[in-house]
Amino acid sequence: MDTDYSVIVAGYGPVGACAANLLGYYKIKSLVIDKEKEIYTLPRAITWDDECRRIIVPCNFADKIEIRKIRGIDHINGKGESFLKIRMAEEDRYEYQVGPTFMYQPEFEKAFRDNAETYDTNQFKLGFEVLSYEENKECINVEIKNLDTNTVQHVTTKYLIGADGANSIIRKKMGVKYKSFKYDEPWMCVDGFSNEDLECFKDVDAFQICDPKRSLTIINSVNNKFRFEIMIMPDDDLNEIQKEEVFYPFIAKYLKNRKFTFTRKAIYTFHSTSVDRWSKNNVFLVGDAAHQMPPFMGQGMNSGMRDVENLLWKLSGVISEKYSPSILKSYETERKYHAEKIIKASIAMGNIIMTPSPLKAFFRDIGIKIKSLTKKGKRSFYPGYSGIRLGDGLHNHPSERSHIFRYYFPSILLGDGSNKTTDDLLQKNFGIILNNFNKDVSISENNCNILNKIDFRILNFSKNYMKSNYSYFNYFKTSGRDLETYFNHFECDAVLLRPDKYIFDIINFDDNDNLDQIISDVIIQLKSKEIL
Ligand SMILES: Cc1cc2nc3c(=O)[nH]c(=O)nc-3n(C[C@H](O)[C@H](O)[C@H](O)COP(=O)(O)OP(=O)(O)OC[C@H]3O[C@@H](n4cnc5c(N)ncnc54)[C@H](O)[C@@H]3O)c2cc1C
């Protein structure tokens, strides 16, 4: 049956806007609906990490968004002493990595919307509320209300994405349950700016003040904009604390009484929840509709963008009949595991920040100092930034190490003098990167046909010139430092990548392997996961 759209996205917050961009990139006929006409202006997300930036790089507008690389975060105890200082540059493994960044959400969301609205395949209904949906064997019928005229209409789609936030109507209609991690904390968020120099931000951009008397977060984001998060204590009067003369003294001593202009404030209760089912037939939940977490690792919106990326390479491949529809089951298994790890890590960070007594804080400081003596120990405090594996799904968990990280890669100088990254060359397709493969690179007609159907890419970094009969075989003479770092680290000869650059498998060649044999094995692996 023909439907009005292939995909409908309910909700045009940052996660719905990310979905709209990828749907445009994949040229999928889509409708995005939001009850609000304008971008939500209250202070919320402030960090955007490099994995999530990478998601939208092929949409060609990432460079228009003003970002500032986060140099570091310092954790200060009640006595004003640092007990955990994380410098992000020390975490970078590859040249290509940008690392986590700060951005200014209203401008960030505007850039997402402006670009999403350039795709011919995208349509928008803003000022429309999604009321309900019915799914039958042939389509999903979505009931929406025009909030200007109060008229109700119906639109049909093959797939429905619920990006409609914490109070998701799609989630309620799906009848899925919310699991609470029983961690709900009230904080006040204040945004402001200052044109004065602040010495304390010499080598870090954020402070977590982990004082049992009152915890605070102080962030220097982009263009002299600041975010202050102030813990609400049991005796606080919620009206009083929002007055500048009441809250400013809490932060003033850390900022040496510099002058600030405060622009916005809001009291939030941060929840920690995740749904038990992320999809039902052809309806999927993404972003806050599927999970909520405290903001101590800046991962709420980022996790939603990861959901969108994971779902949309699968959905677009199914819609274009490249991949089998059974791969959609892996959306839940892969993302639920990942998101819940991040929720638990955010709660753990919250417990560090909000240690309730000076005695506990004393032992906390000692424990953390010991753990952060090793790089691995220090990295464990911010797993959202250094990589978390996916749950079971479309990958072979090739080794304990390789599934942790996505594949990062530097730019490559091509023969015509242009610079590209392997992301540019692979685009959002399956592909294999071979390190110095010098055997026969011809591929049988049967295998070529299978690879062509999914636009599979082969990149070979070799000392000797190579030419194959397969059209998506690319040879590069130079590899650069990062390639060596990567293959040495994982002790492998090749890496098989998914469209989102998670590692499907790492491969070691046998002496008498030829490329056709390697590709035959790859096809067997992809079939074993029901991708083909
Ligand atoms: C103080 C604070 C700080 C934070 N800091 C960070 C951070 O630094 N980094 C980070 O990654 N995350 C952070 N977060 C979390 C982040 O803001 C959220 O995870 C993110 O906004 C979720 O995006 P979303 O698009 O899923 O949902 P939302 O932003 O809630 O958007 C949902 C959209 O759906 C629309 N909608 C809802 N119901 C309907 C309906 N029935 N019909 C039509 N439209 C509907 C709404 O109007 C809205 O536009 C923070 C949150 C807070 C509160």
DSSP secondary structure string for all residues of 182-231: S--EEEEEEEEE--S--GGGSS-SEEEEE-TT--EEEEE-STTEEEEEEE
For residue 376, what pLDDT is reported? 80
Neighbours of 425 (CB within 10 A): 19
Radius of gyration from C-alpha coordinates of the chain: 24
Distance from Cα 478 to the centre of ligand 1, integer Å: 43
State the Cα–Cα distance between residues 309 and 316, nearest whole angstrom: 11
- The model carries a pTM of 0.95
Residue of 22, 130, 164, 169 best suited for mutating to test ligand 1, as the one with most atoms within 8 Å of CB: 164
Q: What is the DSSP string of 11-30?
A: --SHHHHHHHHHHHHTT--E
For residue 466, what pLDDT is reported? 81
> Could you tell me the pLDDT band of residue 374, with boundaries at 50, 70 and 90?
confident
For residue 478, what pLDDT is reported? 62
Position in ligand 1 atom list of the atom nearest CA 36: 47
Domain 411-528 has CATH 3.40.30: yes
Q: Which two tokens stand for residue 453?
A: 């159907």
State the Cα–Cα distance between residues 335 and 339, nearest whole angstrom: 6
> Could you tell me the pLDDT band of residue 86, with boundaries at 50, 70 and 90?
confident
Give yes or no for residue 301 CB within 6 A of ligand 1: yes
Mean pLDDT of 109-123: 98
Q: Which of 353, 348, 374 minimizes the C-alpha distance to 83?
A: 353
State the Cα–Cα distance between residues 331 and 329, nearest whole angstrom: 5
Burial class (CB in 10 A: 0-12, 13-18, 19+), 406: middle
Distance from Cα 13 to the centre of ligand 1, integer Å: 6
Domain 5-181+272-386 has CATH 3.40.50.300: no
User: Whose CA is closest to atom 44 on ligand 1?
Assistant: 34
Give yes or no for residue 220 CB within 6 A of ligand 1: no
Give yes or no for residue 10 CB within 6 A of ligand 1: yes
Q: What is the DSSP letter of 519?
A: H
* Domain span(s) for CATH 3.50.50.60 in the chain: 5-181+272-386
Is residue 423 over pLDDT 70?
A: yes
What is each CA distance from 384 to 35, 80, 381, 529, in whole angstroms? 31, 27, 9, 27
Mean pLDDT of 468-497: 80
Is residue 479 over pLDDT 60?
A: no
Q: What is the percent of the chain where pLDDT is above 70?
A: 92
> E strands of 283-363, at which residues?
283-285, 291-292
Give yes or no for residue 165 CB within 6 A of ligand 1: yes
* Domain span(s) for CATH 3.40.30 in the chain: 411-528
For residue 138, what pLDDT is reported? 94
Distance from Cα 304 to the centre of ligand 1, integer Å: 9
For residue 400, what pLDDT is reported? 58
For residue 21, what pLDDT is reported? 98
> Could you tell me the pLDDT band of residue 418, with boundaries at 50, 70 and 90?
confident
User: Whose CA is closest to atom 52 on ligand 1?
Assistant: 44
Is residue 403 over pLDDT 50?
A: no
Q: Quick one: how far is CA 63 from the chain centroid?
A: 17
Residue of 34, 50, 299, 301 best suited for mutating to test ligand 1, as the one with most atoms within 8 Å of CB: 301
- The three-point CA angle 241-249-83 to 5° equals 105
State the Cα–Cα distance between residues 126 and 33, nearest whole angstrom: 6
Q: Which two tokens stand for residue 488?
A: 């040495």
